[in-house]
Structure 1
Amino acid sequence: MANTEWQKSSFSGNGGDCVEIRTADSLLELRESDEGHLALRTNPAVLASLLHGVKAGEFDHHA
């Protein structure tokens, strides 16, 4: 799988603070648009687990 273009989150506004995602080889990369040189690289299963935890409130105590 080749690298794809960065895709902005539909929850991001028109400003520069956006979460972006793309495929890179067989992995996924996530970045904050204003820190484009930094990216988190993971596999789809790990990202799905993280998103389920966020939606379930497992990390709310860190806010």
Structure 2
Amino acid sequence: MSDITWQISSHCQAGNSCIGVRRSGDTIHVRESEQPSETVITAPEKFRALILGVKAGTFDHLIHPARRAAPGAATPVGAAS
């Protein structure tokens, strides 16, 4: 990989496991700090859709199990329609 700087959330504290992201050419790279050699590569449009969903609260139920997915939220990949 090139030496483009990885960006992590300002909510990530030193010593914690964090998700890093960076742009390289026409792709977005995503990795976990615990497994830096394993990288997911995606298109900026797909990453933008994910970020918009996160900001809208679509995925809140994943970190707060007592909450349910919002009505009209996207169907999980692999789920029956």
Using the size of structure 2 for normalisation, the TM-score is 0.61
- Structure 1 unaligned segments of length 5 or more: list them: none
When Rg is computed on C-alpha atoms for both structures, the one with the higher figure is 2
SS state of the match for residue 4, structure 2? Answer: coil
* Structure in which a larger fraction of residues adopt helix: 1
Number of positions where the alignment pairs a residue of Structure 1 with one of Structure 2: 62
Runs of 4+ in 1 over 6 A off after TM superposition: none
**Structure 2 unaligned blocks of 5 or more:** 64-81
**Residue aligning to 2:51:** 51
The two structures, once aligned, show a CA RMSD in angstroms of 2.0
Q: Higher RCO, 1 or 2 (CA under 8 Å, sep at least 6)?
A: 1
TM norm structure 1: 0.74
